[in-house]
Amino acid sequence: MKVDLLLGLQWGDEGKGKIVDVLTSNYDIIARFQGGPNAGHTLEFDGIKHVLHTIPSGIFNAGVTNLIGNGVVIDPIIFKKEIESIEKLNIETSELLISKKAHLILPTHKMLDKASEIAKGKNKIGSTLKGIGPTYMDKTGRNGLRVGDINSENFEDKYNKLKEKHITLLKFYSFEESIDELEKEWFESIESIRKFKLIDSEEFLHNQLLANKSVLAEGAQGSLLDIDFGSYPFVTSSNTIAAGACTGLGVAPNKIGEVFGIFKAYCTRVGSGPFPTELFDSIGEEIQRVGNEFGATTGRPRRCGWLDLVALKKAIFTNSVTDLCITKLDVLDEMKKINVCIDYEDDLPVYKEFEGWLSSTEGITEYDSLPNNAQIFIKYIEDFVKSKASIISTGPSRDQTILR
């Protein structure tokens, strides 16, 4: 067996949570491989809407094992709240596994994130301020605290040593904020991590694949936010592309199977950085309103624009996508004209214009039932990027999905 991947091809928020939830019934294991609570993955089913930050989107399916891989960074405080809100729905969480090698976000990491953004001023990244960058810096700087450390005798000493280093850095930024309350909550929340099985994800997955178990790796953020291939420096601090799943779980490249690449029928971006097809007019506002484009983690309005097929094509090859998945097609239902960027001339997007379909696609589950203009739009995208859309999403709910 191989590990299938599902990842975002744009700037995040493509609908990964929904589609993982749709696909979960085909898999034994769902595994997150990078990022942390900067992610907000929304699932909707049976009238329930739920946002996950650290926990894989397979958690609502009984009998599925969910794994938080070594590549993920965990904020114990957010993790504890997530577990509590899931358990309130009477969902069993005991099958959740956590890699001992996943890194911990300390309260001072969050402060450093804030201090760094303030210091950058108008050049700020627009970080979610969840401490992601500083935590990955400590990981690669070989100073980090890992989940496995919570059971070591000198865990508090290790914590204090790292905290002291952070306090020195915060002084450099002249950043002062009381830490006592957060620190207390942090140590209390560490206890909720202890309740789960802490494992070596690489060994676990190796044995599961040998035992013929199926695995879906769930990406966070999107390819255009990748630390190497995204619009640096306006990126996140992990490898969001397919290769990140290998290092973030401990699986070799030749063990990767299908790669599901997800994108919206338009584009959004939350935070700073270039967005060539961004709309600053009433059409952009309309997409934001109809698509409810507000961040699932921070509530910030998402910038909206037309689909960029040049960027999409690149994301498809850096990930070697085998299956495309288009989401939020229904958001364009009322658009008279729809543009997609097919080229750049002097750094400016060149658009191809489509006639809108001006009828509701919401909840459609059969491809042939889509209006003709919507089919023309999808076919053009498929031909342009030379890849087939095997999943088309026509609404936020689990059942509002076309599987081809």
Instruction: Give catalytic residue positions.
Output: 13, 41
Measured distance CA(200)–CA(294) in Å, rounded: 36
Contact 43, 398 (CB under 8 A): yes
Among ligand IMO, Mg ion, ligand GDP, none, partner that 331 touches (CB below 5 to 8 angstroms by kind): ligand GDP
Using the rule CB under 6 A, is 269 a contact of ligand GDP? Answer: no
By CB under 6 A, what part of segment 133-172 binds ligand IMO? 133
d(CA 22, CA 366): 15
SS3 69: coil
Which of 126/356 has CB closer to ligand IMO?
Answer: 126
* 15 makes contact with ligand GDP (CB under 6 A): yes
Size (the chain), residues = 404
Q: How many residues bind ligand IMO (CB under 6 A)?
A: 24
Is residue 218 a contact point for ligand GDP (CB under 6 A)? Answer: no
What is the CA 263 to chain-centroid distance, rounded? 12
Of 10, 34, 38, 42, the one binding ligand GDP by CB under 6 A = 42
Instruction: Determine if 13 is a binding residue for Mg ion (CB under 5 A).
Output: yes
Could you tell me which stretch among 118-126, 195-203, 328-336, 346-354 binds ligand GDP (CB under 6 A)?
328-336
DSSP H helices in 221-329:
242-249, 282-290, 309-319
Round to whole Å and give the CA distance between 326 and 197: 35
Partner interacting with residue 71 (select from ligand GDP, ligand IMO, Mg ion, none; CB below 5-8 Å by kind)? none
| Residue number with CB closer to Mg ion (296 or 376) | 296
Segment holding 218, helix H or strand E: strand 215-222
Q: How far apart are CA 134 and CA 145, in angstroms?
A: 12
Contact 237, 105 (CB under 8 A): no
Give 370's DSSP letter: S
Segment interacting with Mg ion, rule: CB under 5 A, options 9-17, 62-70, 147-155, 347-355:
9-17
Q: Angle between the 132-140 and 107-120 helix axes, to the nearest 10 degrees?
A: 110
For residue 8, state whether it binds ligand GDP (rule: CB under 6 A). yes
Residue 160 to residue 183: CA distance in whole angstroms = 11
Part in contact with ligand IMO (CB under 6 A); list of ranges 6-14, 347-355, 370-378, 394-402: 6-14
For Mg ion, the closer of residues 113 and 293 by Cβ is 293
What tokens were used for 394? 């026509």
| The only residue of 126, 276, 356, 371 in contact with ligand IMO, by rule CB under 6 A | 126
Instruction: State which amino acid sits at residue 323.
Output: D
327 touching ligand GDP, by CB under 6 A:
yes
Question: Peptide bond before 76: cis, by omega within 30 degrees of 0?
Answer: no
Helix ranges restricted to H, 10-140: 16-23, 76-87, 107-120, 132-140
Query: Which of 270, 115, 134 has the alpha carbon at shortest distance from 177?
Result: 115
290 binds Mg ion (CB under 5 A): no
Q: What is the CA radius of gyration of the chain?
A: 21
Phi–psi pair at 186, nearest 5 degrees: -65, -50
Q: Which does 236 bind (CB under 5 to 8 A by kind): ligand GDP, ligand IMO, Mg ion, none?
A: ligand IMO
Of positions 271, 291, 305, 395, contacts ligand IMO by CB under 6 A: 271
Closest distance of CB 271 from ligand GDP, Å: 13
With CB under 5 to 8 Å by kind, the binding choice for 99 among ligand IMO, ligand GDP, Mg ion, none is none
d(CA 285, CA 280): 8
Binding Mg ion by CB under 5 A: which of 137, 167, 296, 310?
A: 296
Residue number with CB closer to ligand GDP (308 or 330): 330
Burial of 32 (0-12, 13-18, 19+ CB in 10 A): buried
Query: In this chain, which stretch among 10-18, 106-114, 332-340, 347-355 interacts with ligand GDP, using CB under 6 A?
Result: 10-18
Binding of ligand IMO by 128 (CB under 6 A): yes
Amino acid at 217: A
Give residues 293-322 in contact with ligand IMO (rule: CB under 6 A). Answer: 296
Q: Which is nearer to ligand IMO, 198 or 307 (CB)?
A: 307
Residue 349 within binding range of ligand IMO, rule CB under 6 A = no
- Of the CA atoms within 13 Å of residue 237, those in its CB half-sphere come to 23
Give the footprint of ligand GDP on this chain (CB under 6 A): 8, 12-18, 39-42, 44, 292, 296, 327-328, 330-331, 393-396
Give the footprint of ligand IMO on this chain (CB under 6 A): 8, 11-13, 35, 38-41, 125-128, 130, 132-133, 220-222, 225, 236, 270-271, 296
Give the footprint of Mg ion on this chain (CB under 5 A): 13, 40, 296
